[in-house]
Structure 1
Amino acid sequence: MSLVPAVHLPDDLVGALGAQLRGVAAQQTAAQVERLIGQYRGGTSTQGPIVRDEADAAAYAAYRMPATYAAVRTALGELEERAGEWAPGSQLDLGGGTGAAVWAAADTWPDAKHEATVLDWSQPALALGRALAARAASDAVQAAAWTRAPLGADSAPDLPAADLVTVSYVLGELAAADRDRLVEAAAGAARAAVVVVEPGTPEGYARVLAARERLIAQGLTVLAPCPHDGACPVTGTDWCHFAARVTRSTLHRQVKGGTLPYEDEKFSYVAAARPAALPGATPAQHRIVRHPRIRKGQVLLDLCAPGSALTHPTVTKRTAALYRAARDADWGDAWPPKDQEPS
């Protein structure tokens, strides 16, 4: 049994990637990927667009887009779980590149009629994103607007308002002051919610933590993953992150030089909302922050709890329903399951 939650890449996105990248030489793309790996996983800011030309855009789509989709889809799923009947009527995706977050939002709220706008400073990424979107089954993805806009130094973004603002895998491309300005601009543009996603590295977690503090300062309340708005209890050499499993395509395996049919994308995130816009939304009571450990007749959990604390309860067969839920629980899940939360 996998200990990492699986995310299904939509068939139309798989088909669109295959069609757009059919003529891309895997060996040539692999060289571009080596540079992307260093910048996405490195500990320093690139302070500029990672995707610089068509070759970079193709490499990004082959190497990063499936994993980015999986991480953002997981984060949006947690927002959707906590937000009740709310669904966004519009989405602004900052630094969205080829549009993984737009595809993820359309899959999270498939019945919602919403408009999507992608802002990015890389024209090649936007062009590829537009071409991929033309093959989407979702009207929201097909009709998305793709707009070039500076997000880095010497820019103070004047952003259009949207119900949902997504900021995924872009803060690492900015200097610290520009990150702060962009997060504050995102909060100002969000009518209802902001979701920030970064790589699940110590550096990515630090950027998410800083964004979380900015969002709270701007009047938003954290809905996920944290069960509180207090200080993060994960300190020292540890960092809060989660994982999602995504299936690799043939090209994906060739580009990455891997043999496994899947990869586990580790990521950090925060989803925050305006209380007035989502009055019924509440965070989980607790969040599972490590793989549950199953023993004979018991499950050991590591939880982030209200009050900025980490707790380590043991769930036993004495509480039959909770025990069954704990055996099925995954790293990153809310606890207890929503259908067992006290009313």
Structure 2
Amino acid sequence: MPLKEGFRRKAMLDNLWEMLSPEGGILIFMEKGHPRGFEAVAEVRARLLDEFIVSPTSDARPEPIEPEMRREREPGMIVAPCTNHKACPMYLHPGLTPGRKDFCHFSQRFIRPPFLQRVLGATDRNHEDVDFSFVAVQRGTLPGTEKTTLPAQGREATDKAFGGHEHSPEAPNPLSLPRNILPPIKRRGHVTLDLCTPAGTLERWTVPKSFSKQAYRDARKARWGDLWALGAKTRIVRPVRLGKGGVAPNDGGVRAQQAARGGKMRVINLDADAGGIFRASEAGKASLSPRRTKGGKKGKKPPNLMKELGLQE
């Protein structure tokens, strides 16, 4: 996140990738667990899939405009947290998204060391929860293997996971299972899980008590970030709350300024005649030019917005 310019971020990723072992080296990107941190990680993930690695379940690569300027993709795979190699369903619009409600992040509790306890002056608890977003990717194949050992992903793997592996003769591969992207919602008689599936979609699965005694018990014990293998009774597509659309970072435009102010935009109405602009007012508020109130008495003088906008000396 400290690197605001796109070309600096690209150069950093290129340098880290070159230092990574081509025989199964693992690269982990981690940022703070808030919308801007998630967008920084999602940008890295999108570029890794588009330019650096190719897996058996990757989407077809778009035709490059300048083939000589594009690097050759090599075998690789995303290890975590994604169990798919599709476009991230929470990052449909590149760039910043004001008002984002859904973003992929997780929480980790750690025990504060004694010196930090003394610095903070904490006496009631010695732990803290930290939210973070991350992506871990493997470059190349492991030593002794000829190809990337990636299990089945996609719609078929999602349907099998929905059916459940409770009575399967062998354990499923973790990379073929959906992952909890939020804490489970526990209600009397059923548990609701928000999952990111191997098909690259967000779905809400419901596990009632009548579905399976084991599945219901484990669903109530499930935690944020866990994989889910015991299926569910019902499923629906979960709409993604993405806010107000993408904003290119540091584009200097009106929408970028709006994002920097927390999504609020000032709308200024200008009144003009043949002599030029004579009044400026902000939408939803009274006129911002000095006027006399009814009865000839002077009212409270509002701020001179015309001077503020450089329209009056």
TM-score (norm 2): 0.48
Q: Which has the larger radius of gyration?
A: 2
The structure with the greater share of residues assigned to helix is: 1
